[in-house]
Structure 1
Amino acid sequence: MLILQGEHFSMRKFGFVILCLVFCFNSSNFSKNTEQSLSFHPDSTYKELALSIDSVLSNKNLGSTQLSIAIYSLNEHKFIYEKNPDLPLKPASLTKLLTSFATYSLVSDTFNLRTQIYTDDNNIDDGIVNGNLYILGGGDCLMKLADLDELVQQIENLGIKKITGDIIADGRLYNGDNNRFAYSGDNDEVEPVAPISALTLEQNRFRIFVNSRVTSQSPKIQIIPNAGNVQVVSNVKIYAPAPAKKKSSKKKTKKSSSNFKIYEQNYGDRIPLDVALLSTYRNRISAHSKLKDDGTQIIYLSGTMPKNKNLGIQEFILSPNMSFASVFRNRLISNGINVSGKFDKVSKSTVIDYPNMKKIAEFARPLNELIKQMNKNSDNYLAENLFKFNGAIACKDTATVVSAKRLYDSIYSSIVKPEQLPILNDGSGLSRRNRASAYLLVNMLAKASQSKIFSSYVASLSIAGVDGTLAKRLRGTTAENNLMGKTGTHRDVSGLAGYIHNLDGEIYLFAYIFNGPNVGLYKNLENELSLILSNHTKYKLNEKPSN
């Protein structure tokens, strides 16, 4: 087995704030007729730690469970506990640790994702663009309407009042299929993910608002963002609600009349940010789409809703480039800029000489912002965008997905042996065919701790009892505000990996992966194992009778 031979451990490399490495005891917990002293027992306490872990695991019903566990002392530069460390298992969202580390290895933590606006008119001093505007996508999958408005403001600040040509979107940074299920090669989808694209707006989701406060039998429909390549066909029927029951004398909490159906992410532990919008009527309206060859998306709505209600539903943006160009054109016009041309997307074979064109606007988003949101909240959509981004920037193959896989092999072959390399078919861990071991993850975490990107990397992880997918776990324990890690969940997978320090300030790198039928049990096990680490100390209390 490989053992990491990293550079000398330095506490400055860590986001952990350790004010003191001296272990203090409260003398009031012991009898007054004894004297206490501390002795240092590193080897024996490691053995006791291992025995404690084995005891916890043996007391659980794990007969049908496959597991891989590895724990490494960063101070001592050695593994202190291993159980099937090389066993490749389904890692679920622990995959995101590998995806984000690959991204940082590729472009560093100071990189910005840029969305740029170019024109083929090099003379705009007259306030007129006599030509086209080109939107060049750089992989910013967090773009919102407000960000588009910032781009529009930059164009306005140049004094531009008119654009005679078209608004054209260029999202060719990523090639191949934009559907995660398709490019993963999986047999079961597990969970749908919005199309992955280098030009993304509102995470490639339309919000469709349906209002039955109308005099007709058809509801009023509003779609955000408002894209010209989208048509909505509604078969939603309005019905009169049943007569109100006699009011009770008991005071009731007023319910909101505005409800919204969302695509919930069930796998990957993501925190449902829109939970307040969930509706009791959520199953009464449904949507499905068809995409025409010309980029027009037709959204069909069906179902029923009561009179005088506001409901909503989300639908994926199936033609991201066309929709982005259309929405941007609309924002330009709404801000007083005359646009004579139409909206369109660049064809695959079109050659555009951007270096010799004039850049008139740019929106730059720090990569750290994306990775932090992805790891803390375990966001599958962001992870898949990074997967494609890694492949596109690495240029290890003409196909983006193949390039990403080759990048991962090249990065992780410097950390583990060839037979220990991960098998990754996507960036989020939704693929049930992904494989990784606890040993690989711990070695990767150790490699990260030796690199310049470590402060950014560790800052992207959830903090136990504080935020992200660990916000409600390990509260009121020594692991709270201590353990920094990444969770992983499928219906038959649970995992946890990250960094934690013990009572002496010693840093442990750990990874637990469980594959089996009892995810709830595995989560509890992860907590118990983490508490063994956070409560560990190499010091023992010696008691001597007083004279």
Structure 2
Amino acid sequence: MYKILVSFFFCSTLWANEWQDLERFLPPGTQLSYLVVDAATQKTVVSHHANTLRTPASVQKVLTALAAKIYLGDDFRFETSIRGSRDKISLGNYQGSLSFQFVGDPTLLRVDIRKMLLRLKSLGIKNIKGDFLLNSHAFNGYQWSNGQAWNDLGVCYTAPSHAIIVNKNCVLGNLGRGDGKTASLFIPPYEPMRISSDVQIVSVEEKQKAFCDLEITRHENNRYHLWGCMVPRSGAFPLAFAVNDPFNYAAEIIRSELKRVGIKLTGQVREDSAYLVSDKLVTHQSITLDRLLLQMLKNSDNLIADSLFKTLGAHYFNTSGNFRNGALALKLILEKQGIDLGNSYIVDGSGLSRHNLMSSKLFMKVLNYIYKHDKTLHILASFPIAGKDGTLKYHRGVHDTLLTEKVIAKTGSMKGVSNLLGRVSTARGDMLFVVLLNAYVPLKSASVSVLVSKDHFQREFLKRIVLLGND
């Protein structure tokens, strides 16, 4: 018996060492956790700091996807509406105020609003004898989660999660070379956003000497100022500004679209947060949850994730959704399925917050559930496929012929964070894995950074899983 135990311990130690030698591909100080499980037998293949809580970044979206599938259901759609009373329509006039009810639809576009207003006009309304209320009752609280980096809030991947969303609360533009000394700014003239620029074009040497970069200052009412410097480019430098004041942005769009479709408003466009009980005169529905999750997981769409997160809180507690009740709703929904997230810390649905904390072991609980129930959930089909689509199409951590289309995984990246969670198909069967890299700082030496990097580590880690299944 003693010999058997010694032999088992010796083999286990060798096995663990074979995996730990992969850490030589990471810079010193990198915080690493991973867990690999045989999907069929549920046996742990290898585990390293699997109970340690780490910053999850966008792999957090897997939790949101599962909770939404379970609680909201496949047929869920966001429904935006114009509300009022049909009794108040007479001789081309609407006597009173109308409400445009926003519900946090992350796919609602300006053209959708125009179509809704045209349908309103077809009901015989050419004049609104009152105000046009933009209703935001669906969500309340902060439009960004606690723990988001303040200097990211001006760009589109952190567009505010508000009940009022139009065009993803994002405005695109670019910086051109201008006169060669000062960059020229272009923003489409139809966009109700005021942006000024004083960006200097300098050489690489001048940029380094002055310690300057492209900077943005945010002001009230969707006003921004670009400043700092940039080096010359062969083409325009693309810009993507987050709409920090969703109400004013939507209000200006609606004023413009009312004129465009020929509806006269005698009152004002105002914000309202009252609970609405009036009739739905016009409705617009988003795509179904399945298609929303496909976009969210393949492309790591933060706005879809946080809108669904708040919607979970709203539906579960029958109140306005926010980050707090969304977090509690998610945990309770998963707990009812036997997934106890223990001492994890959940702040949002996207993973943008630095306050989120999850472990490899907790993520594996979620991944196991998804795998076991995938015939009904169909979530794995929305994961990016290595070398084929989504965030794994050009991901260097899976850029190897041995991994192409054998790995499906959700990525999670932010400054100092590079995580992967998913499934590897091997000759022996499917393997489930979670690998969390935190506190990652790349080496500056070009000759070493190719070999010692997160990409090299992830490739070798995943290749080892594939080869393990071929033994």
Preserved contact between residue 104 and residue 161 of structure 2 (Cα < 8 Å): no
Residue 87 of structure 1, CA deviation: 2.0
Q: What 5-or-longer segments of structure 1 have no aligned partner?
A: 1-46, 214-218, 240-282, 541-547
| Structure 2 letter corresponding to 1:98 | L
Question: Which residue matches 1:524?
Answer: 456
| Structure 2 letter corresponding to 1:491 | K
Q: State which of 401, 404, 412 in structure 2 corresponds to 1:477.
A: 401
Q: What 5-or-longer segments of structure 2 have no aligned partner?
A: 1-9, 179-183, 202-211, 443-451
| Structure 2 letter corresponding to 1:57 | Q
Question: Which residue matches 1:166?
Answer: 131
Separation in structure 2 between the aligned mates of residue 400 and residue 457 of structure 1, nearest angstrom = 25
Q: State which of 6, 12, 18 in structure 2 corresponds to 1:55.
A: 18
Superimposed CA distance per residue, residues 39-96 of structure 1 (whole angstroms, 9 cap, x where no aligned partner)? xxxxxxxx99996774243253366343222222222233333222222222222112
Match of 1:426, SS state, is coil
Question: Which residue matches 1:143?
Answer: 108
Separation in structure 2 between the aligned mates of residue 358 and residue 416 of structure 1, nearest angstrom = 39
Residue 523 of structure 1, CA deviation: 3.0
Superimposed CA distance per residue, residues 250-290 of structure 1 (whole angstroms, 9 cap, x where no aligned partner)? xxxxxxxxxxxxxxxxxxxxxxxxxxxxxxxxx99876443
Q: State which of 191, 194, 210 in structure 1 corresponds to 2:152.
A: 191
Instruction: Report the CA distance shift for 1:536/1:113 in structure 2 as closer, same or farther (over 3 A).
Output: same
Preserved contact between residue 36 and residue 433 of structure 2 (Cα < 8 Å): yes
Preserved contact between residue 82 and residue 101 of structure 2 (Cα < 8 Å): yes
Q: State which of 418, 438, 443 in structure 2 corresponds to 1:515.
A: 438
Answer with 439-448 or 402-411: which moved more: 402-411
Question: Which residue matches 1:205?
Answer: 170
Preserved contact between residue 415 and residue 443 of structure 1 (Cα < 8 Å): no
Answer with 458-467 or 69-78: which moved more: 69-78
Find out whether 1:426 has 2:348 as its counterpart.
yes
Separation in structure 2 between the aligned mates of residue 457 and residue 49 of structure 1, nearest angstrom = 34
Preserved contact between residue 364 and residue 433 of structure 2 (Cα < 8 Å): yes
Match of 2:419, SS state, is strand
Structure 1 vs Structure 2: percent identity of aligned residues? 23
Answer with 89-98 or 143-152: which moved more: 143-152
| Structure 2 letter corresponding to 1:191 | D
Residue 344 of structure 1, CA deviation: 1.3
Separation in structure 1 between the aligned mates of residue 417 and residue 176 of structure 2, nearest angstrom = 41
Preserved contact between residue 487 and residue 497 of structure 1 (Cα < 8 Å): yes
Preserved contact between residue 32 and residue 438 of structure 2 (Cα < 8 Å): yes
Instruction: Report the CA distance shift for 1:297/1:436 in structure 2 as closer, same or farther (over 3 A).
Output: closer
Mapping of 1:57-456 within 5 angstroms? Answer: 57-61=20-24, 64-122=29-87, 124=89, 126-180=91-145, 184-185=146-147, 188-189=149-150, 191-192=152-153, 193-207=158-172, 223=188, 226-227=191-192, 232=194, 234=196, 288-291=217-220, 296-299=221-224, 314-346=240-272, 348=273, 350-354=274-278, 357-395=279-317, 400-414=322-336, 420-451=342-373, 455-456=377-378
Residue 412 of structure 1, CA deviation: 4.1
Separation in structure 1 between the aligned mates of residue 360 and residue 339 of structure 2, nearest angstrom = 14
Separation in structure 2 between the aligned mates of residue 125 and residue 319 of structure 1, nearest angstrom = 35
Q: Indicate the RMSD between aligned Cα atoms, in angstroms.
A: 4.0
| Structure 2 letter corresponding to 1:60 | E
Residue 317 of structure 1, CA deviation: 2.3
Separation in structure 1 between the aligned mates of residue 275 and residue 338 of structure 2, nearest angstrom = 41
Separation in structure 1 between the aligned mates of residue 275 and residue 48 of structure 2, nearest angstrom = 54
Task: Please report the TM-score for the alignment, with normalisation by the length of structure 2.
Answer: 0.77
Number of aligned residues: 430
Separation in structure 1 between the aligned mates of residue 377 and residue 92 of structure 2, nearest angstrom = 45
Residue 363 of structure 1, CA deviation: 3.2
Preserved contact between residue 114 and residue 364 of structure 1 (Cα < 8 Å): yes
| Structure 2 letter corresponding to 1:529 | F
Preserved contact between residue 143 and residue 203 of structure 1 (Cα < 8 Å): yes
Preserved contact between residue 65 and residue 516 of structure 1 (Cα < 8 Å): yes
Preserved contact between residue 286 and residue 301 of structure 1 (Cα < 8 Å): yes
Residue 166 of structure 1, CA deviation: 2.4
Residue 395 of structure 1, CA deviation: 1.8
Q: State which of 461, 464, 487 in structure 1 corresponds to 2:411.
A: 487
Q: Which has the higher helix share?
A: 2
Preserved contact between residue 335 and residue 341 of structure 2 (Cα < 8 Å): no
Separation in structure 2 between the aligned mates of residue 139 and residue 433 of structure 1, nearest angstrom = 23
Match of 1:72, SS state, is strand
Instruction: Report the CA distance shift for 1:234/1:88 in structure 2 as closer, same or farther (over 3 A).
Output: closer
Separation in structure 1 between the aligned mates of residue 433 and residue 365 of structure 2, nearest angstrom = 10
Separation in structure 2 between the aligned mates of residue 432 and residue 60 of structure 1, nearest angstrom = 24
Preserved contact between residue 128 and residue 161 of structure 1 (Cα < 8 Å): yes
Superimposed CA distance per residue, residues 203-241 of structure 1 (whole angstroms, 9 cap, x where no aligned partner)? 21334679999xxxxx997656544xx6x47576999xx
Separation in structure 1 between the aligned mates of residue 150 and residue 185 of structure 2, nearest angstrom = 34
Answer with 475-484 or 194-203: which moved more: 475-484
Residue 365 of structure 1, CA deviation: 2.6
Find out whether 1:502 has 2:426 as its counterpart.
yes
Answer with 379-388 or 393-402: which moved more: 393-402
Find out whether 1:533 has 2:459 as its counterpart.
no
Separation in structure 1 between the aligned mates of residue 343 and residue 375 of structure 2, nearest angstrom = 22
Question: Which residue matches 2:181?
Answer: none
Task: Please report the TM-score for the alignment, with normalisation by the length of structure 1.
Answer: 0.67
Match of 1:484, SS state, is strand
Instruction: Report the CA distance shift for 1:74/1:364 in structure 2 as closer, same or farther (over 3 A).
Output: same
Question: Which residue matches 1:38?
Answer: none
Instruction: Report the CA distance shift for 1:534/1:423 in structure 2 as closer, same or farther (over 3 A).
Output: same
Preserved contact between residue 79 and residue 283 of structure 2 (Cα < 8 Å): no
Separation in structure 2 between the aligned mates of residue 89 and residue 320 of structure 1, nearest angstrom = 32
Separation in structure 2 between the aligned mates of residue 89 and residue 235 of structure 1, nearest angstrom = 39
Separation in structure 2 between the aligned mates of residue 303 and residue 332 of structure 1, nearest angstrom = 39
| Structure 2 letter corresponding to 1:494 | S
Residue 364 of structure 1, CA deviation: 2.6
Separation in structure 1 between the aligned mates of residue 372 and residue 176 of structure 2, nearest angstrom = 55
Separation in structure 2 between the aligned mates of residue 341 and residue 496 of structure 1, nearest angstrom = 52
